[in-house]
Amino acid sequence: MDKATSEVEYEQMLLSRHGLLTRRKGRRVDGVMERSAYVLLSRIRVQGPMSIGELSDAFDLDASTLQRQTSAATRAGLVERIPDPAGGMARKFRITDEGARLLDEEREGMIRSLGRVMTDWPKEDISAFAHYLRRFNTDLERIDGRPWPRP
- The model's pLDDT over 6-56, given as tens digits with 9 standing for 90+, comes to 998 888 888 776 665 554 444 445 556 888 899 999 999 999 999 999 999
Mean pLDDT of 76-98: 92
Report, as an integer, the average pLDDT of 51-72: 94
Residue 145, pLDDT above cutoff 60: yes
User: Which stretch of DSSP H or E encloses residue 73?
Assistant: helix 63-75
On the question of pLDDT at 131 being above 90, the answer is yes
Give the chain's mean pLDDT.
88
Distances (CA, A) of 21 to 1, 13, 77: 31, 15, 26
Among 45, 51, 44, 41, CA closest to 91: 51
Other CB atoms within a 10 A radius of the CB of residue 56 amount to 17
3-state secondary structure 98-146: HHHHHHHHHHHHHHHHHHHHCCCCCHHHHHHHHHHHHHHHHHHHHHHCC
Closest CA to 77 of 62, 94, 63: 94
Q: What is the pTM of this model?
A: 0.84
Query: Is the separation of the CB atoms in 101 and 90 below 8 Å?
Result: no
Residue 93, beta-bridge partner list: 50, 81
